[in-house]
Amino acid sequence: MANAKTGHSSLQKDIAFPVDGLDVDEALGKIQEFYQSGRLKQAQRICKEVLQVEPDSQIALRQLGIIAHRMDEFENAKQCFFDLTCIAPNDASVYYNLGNTCVRLNDLDLAFAAFAKTVELDPQYASAYNNMGVILQMRGDMEDAIDYFYDANELNPEHTLSRMYLAESLGRLHRLDECNEVIDNSLSINTLSPEQRAELMQRQAINAWLESDYETCEKTLNMCSHILPHLRESEAFRDFIESFTSLFMFKVNHSDCYEGNANASIYYLSDKSALPAANIVVEMNDLDYRVNALYVEDSDISALLDNDSRLVQAGFKAAIDQIPNKSPVFVDFNEQSCHFQGALFKAFCSKRSKGNNYLKKVCEAYVKHLDVIARARHLKLVFVGAPAANIKLKGISPDRQKKYIAFLEQFNVLLAAAVVDHSYAFLDVYTPTISKSGFSNKRYHLNDSFLKPSIFNDIIGDYLLTKKLN
């Protein structure tokens, strides 16, 4: 009898085939029907019934693995694809599916081996080359990852994902000319989604900003804003346009700070969200310093405690490799890492003693990692503290705001201690207390409304031009 609400008969809704006398062809057709309509449980049940009758059915076993993967049952999916490698050892797609499932299980060694077997069986399998590149990128091996992304693009020029990853990896390694060439070529491909197109254009704007190519930066930002109007509804996209437009205007208005005929250079190393903090060095132009701002991706310092933090480490190293030996470097990765929605603040709020211990470990790992890179280059590091000025806490309850301010102060205390242990300098910009001279209790501010040239003389004199760091 037909169901009044759905129009389907109860037999069709709850169909089950008796194993004895099962019509396999009919059952396989039902598997596809149920899978395509999203009725995964029914499709899964029929797959198992087919396999009871025909244990070596490649179609049923493959579909069972695909269904398990889609239902996030990755161990079951992995077993299905493993079994298929015995039944169909020369089928490249079987190893490709196995590799994708192993990635979801974070078994990257087996995933890489599965993708390598895929291209051994089918050298034209562009997606497998791309996925090997992604695994190498996750491990921080950017140079080799780029080779695989290029291979994928050569095999399939319209393989959009490999183009996205290629541009991303080249940007991380500061190979900006090469990155821009990939972006220009990619933007002409019709298969790009609007979101992918916007992401490439954002990267193009970042590259232009880093190279002081203001015309291209402004043009790209305008294109992001006007040519892709439907993306304006995305809060993340709006935040990017707003923040980067601000950065663009800042660098235009203070271009002398970046391009003056300076006898010495100061480098400002940060993630994108902290780049506006380069305001603290604007007045250094009075001291004949040129400011070089370097943008580092994947720089959430809490990731340094992960078992596999090579991607973060590679980002730091790629940026620092651009800096000449013995240069003074401001290091600031706190705005993203110390965001009130980030892992550090959540840890701080969990249990105060446990949270403090976690913060201490993060700060020590942060300083230690940069110390290893910097000492080999004799760089003079100045770690910038987390600011309480200019933070956006709209919609946050007063109690949580107080807790967040306490978190920032505690983070700076622990970071300062780790910095001192390694004989580097620390610029504390935490205090929300404002005074006419621009500092309170010897704590400096990021807010450029309160900065005075005398403060920069203090900072440079104390930290960069004395024998302590020579």
319-368 confidence digits (pLDDT tens) = 888 888 888 888 887 767 787 777 788 888 876 667 788 888 889 988 99
Confidence of residue 121 (pLDDT cuts 50, 70, 90): very high
Tokens of 44: 């899964």
Q: Which CATH number belongs to the domain containing residue 141 in this structure?
A: 1.25.40.10
Is residue 330 within a helix (H) or strand (E), and if so which, with residue range?
strand 328-332
31 plus 113 within the same structural domain: yes
pLDDT value for 193: 86
429 plus 316 within the same structural domain: yes
The range of the structural domain enclosing residue 119 comes to 10-188
176 plus 248 within the same structural domain: no
Confidence of residue 436 (pLDDT cuts 50, 70, 90): very low
282 plus 249 within the same structural domain: no
264 plus 341 within the same structural domain: yes
Spatial CA neighbour of 173 closest among 63, 302, 296: 296
Q: How far apart, in whole angstroms, are the C-alpha atoms of residue 238 and residue 167?
A: 22
- The answer to whether residue 262 sits within a structural domain is yes
34 plus 95 within the same structural domain: yes
- The answer to whether residue 387 sits within a structural domain is yes
Predicted confidence (pLDDT) at residue 101 exceeds the cutoff of 90: yes
- The answer to whether residue 330 sits within a structural domain is yes
pLDDT value for 39: 84
Which one has a higher pLDDT value, 245 or 135? Answer: 135
Q: How many CB atoms lie within 10 A of CB 89?
A: 11
100-109, 168-177, 359-368, 454-463: least confidently modelled range? 454-463
Q: How far apart, in whole angstroms, are the C-alpha atoms of residue 177 and residue 207?
A: 9
Is residue 381 within a helix (H) or strand (E), and if so which, with residue range?
strand 380-384
222 plus 121 within the same structural domain: no
Which one has a higher pLDDT value, 220 or 312? Answer: 220
222 plus 243 within the same structural domain: yes
215 plus 119 within the same structural domain: no
- The answer to whether residue 5 sits within a structural domain is no
- The answer to whether residue 18 sits within a structural domain is yes
- The answer to whether residue 31 sits within a structural domain is yes
Predicted confidence (pLDDT) at residue 285 exceeds the cutoff of 60: no
Q: Which residue has the tokens 């990128």?
A: 137
Give DSSP secondary structure letters for 277-304: GGGGGGGGGGGTEEEEEEE-SS--GGGG
> Residues 235-261: what's their mean pLDDT?
65
Spatial CA neighbour of 31 closest among 9, 57, 1, 8: 57
329 plus 463 within the same structural domain: yes
Tokens of 429: 């910009």
- Domain finish residue from 225, 253, 281: 253
pLDDT value for 53: 80
> Residues 373-399: what's their mean pLDDT?
73
Q: How far apart, in whole angstroms, are the C-alpha atoms of residue 72 and residue 288?
A: 58
249 plus 275 within the same structural domain: no
213 plus 344 within the same structural domain: no
- The answer to whether residue 74 sits within a structural domain is yes
Q: What is the pLDDT of residues 186-239, one digit of tens each?
A: 998 888 888 888 889 888 988 887 777 878 888 888 887 776 777 667 776 776
- The answer to whether residue 402 sits within a structural domain is yes
Predicted confidence (pLDDT) at residue 96 exceeds the cutoff of 90: yes
State how many domains the chain has: 3
Confidence of residue 392 (pLDDT cuts 50, 70, 90): low
Give DSSP secondary structure letters for 211-264: TT-HHHHHHHHHHHHHTSGGGGG-HHHHHHHHHHHHHHHHHHHTHHHHHS--SE
